[in-house]
Amino acid sequence: MTETSQTTATDETRWSIAIHGGAGSMTPETMDASAVALHEAALSAALAAGEAVLAAGGSAIDAVTAAVVALEDDPLFNAGRGAVFTYHGTNELDAAVMDGASRGAGAVAGVTHTKNPVKLARKVMEAGPHVFLSGAGAEEFAREQGVEQCDEDWFATEERWRQLQELKARKLGWFDDGLKYGTVGAVARDAAGHVAAATSTGGLTGKRWNRIGDSPVIGAGTYADDRAGAVSCTGSGEQFIRAGVAHEICARIRLAGKSAQGAAEAVLAEVGAMGGVGGVIVATPSGDTAMAFTTPGMFRARSDSSGKRSVGIFRQD
Ligand code: ASP
What would the pLDDT profile of 224-249 be if each residue is shown by its tens digit?
999 999 999 999 999 999 999 999 99
Ligand 1 atom nearest 212 alpha carbon: 9
Residue 290 has pLDDT above 50, yes or no: yes
- Residue 25 labeled ligand binder: no
* Beta carbons within 10 angstroms of residue 32's beta carbon: 10
Q: Is 239 near ligand 1, meaning CB less than 6 Å away? A: no
Highest-confidence segment of 3-7, 82-86, 162-166: 82-86
Q: Identify whether 294 is a catalytic site residue.
A: no
Mean pLDDT of 135-150: 98
- Residue 257 labeled ligand binder: no
Among the options 7, 183, 199, 289, which is catalytic?
A: 183
Distance of alpha carbon 109 from alpha carbon 146, whole angstroms: 18
- What domains does the chain contain, in order, with CATH numbers? 6-314 (3.60.20.30)
Mean pLDDT of 155-169: 90
User: What pLDDT is attached to residue 252?
Assistant: 98
- Residue 211 labeled ligand binder: yes
User: What pLDDT is attached to residue 3?
Assistant: 40
Residue 7 has pLDDT above 60, yes or no: no
Residue 143 has pLDDT above 80, yes or no: yes
Ligand 1 atom nearest 181 alpha carbon: 8
User: What pLDDT is attached to residue 173?
Assistant: 59
CA distances for 182 relative to 23, 30, 37, 160, 291, angstroms: 6, 16, 17, 11, 16
- Taking only the tens place, the pLDDT of each residue in 236-289 is 999 999 999 999 999 999 999 999 999 999 999 999 999 999 999 999 999 999
| Residue 64: partners with Cβ closer than 8 Å, 6 or more residues away | 17, 50, 97, 186, 187, 188, 196, 197, 198, 230, 232
What are the b/e assignments for 227-256, b being 16+ CB within 10 Å?
A: ebbbbbbbbbbbbbbbbbbbbbbbbbbeee
Residue 164 has pLDDT above 50, yes or no: yes
Q: Is 215 near ligand 1, meaning CB less than 6 Å away? A: yes
The pTM of the full predicted model, rounded to 2 decimals, is 0.94
Distance of alpha carbon 147 from alpha carbon 236, whole angstroms: 29
How far, in Å, from the CA of 215 to the mean position of ligand 1? 6
Best substitution site from 20, 68, 204, 238 to test ligand 1's pocket, by max atoms within 8 Å of Cβ?
Answer: 204
Q: Return the residue whose CA atom lies nearest to atom 4 of ligand 1.
A: 237
Percent of the chain with pLDDT over 90: 87
Residue 1 has pLDDT above 50, yes or no: no
Confidence of residue 172 (pLDDT cuts 50, 70, 90): low
Q: Return the residue whose CA atom lies nearest to atom 7 of ligand 1.
A: 234
Q: Is 13 near ligand 1, meaning CB less than 6 Å away? A: no
User: What pLDDT is attached to residue 174?
Assistant: 56
Q: Is 297 near ligand 1, meaning CB less than 6 Å away? A: no
- Taking only the tens place, the pLDDT of each residue in 49-73 is 999 999 999 999 999 999 999 999 9
User: What pLDDT is attached to residue 136?
Assistant: 97
Pick the more confident residue, 47 or 7: 47
Distance of alpha carbon 195 from alpha carbon 40, whole angstroms: 25
User: What pLDDT is attached to residue 11?
Assistant: 43
How far, in Å, from the CA of 146 to the mean position of ligand 1? 28
- Residue 176 labeled ligand binder: no
Percent of the chain with pLDDT over 70: 93
Pick the more confident residue, 50 or 166: 50
Q: Is 222 near ligand 1, meaning CB less than 6 Å away? A: no
Determine the number of helices (DSSP H) and then strands (DSSP E) in the chain: 8, 13
Mean pLDDT of 188-214: 96
Confidence of residue 13 (pLDDT cuts 50, 70, 90): low
Average pLDDT value over all residues in the chain: 93
Ligand 1 atom nearest 180 alpha carbon: 8
- Residue 253 labeled ligand binder: no
